[in-house]
A = this chain, B = another copy of it.
Amino acid sequence: MKRLFPRVLGVPHGLPEARGTHRHRVRVLYGDTDRAGVVHHAAYLHYVEAGRLEFFRHRGLVYRELEERTGLGLPVIDLQVRYHAPALFDDLLDLETFALKVTRARAEFATVIHRGDEVLVEVQTTIACVDLRTGHARSLPDEVQRVCVP
């Protein structure tokens, strides 16, 4: 299957990150696997979310504080996922997250999940902004737009 982000290498932990990306490491839990013996396809999305929030934190935006201070949330509104090879229980996975594009209304991210130098899963995520109390759409706050610049 074709790569979503063909120029991204799965760079093993310990080597430097590409400029603008953030690397986050997770260990696969037993409960993330299914009876096929591999990570269930929905479980990766929790890793991807964690990787995106660590990307934010690394750039100075603590997402929980944003929610609590502004009453705004950043829901996922679009996803594309390509599964190249399965992750297994107890694997250490590295997630490279980087921003693809940002407008006043939306931000797009790429996440490449790899194990060593093998790319397992690629994810493109689009987030928007809503008022958590009413659910109404809002512009992305400036502080969010800033950290989402590619």
Contacts and interface: CB of A to CB of B under 8 A. Distances in A.
Interface size class of A (residues with CB under 8 A): 35 or more
A29 interface: yes
A89 B35 CA distance: 8
A69 interface: no
Copies of this chain: 4
A75 B80 CA distance: 16
B50 A42 contact: no
Interface string A35-55: 111101111011001100100
Given A30-B53, A49-B29, A75 B42 contact: no
Contacts of A63: 90
Contacts of A35: 30, 33-38, 89
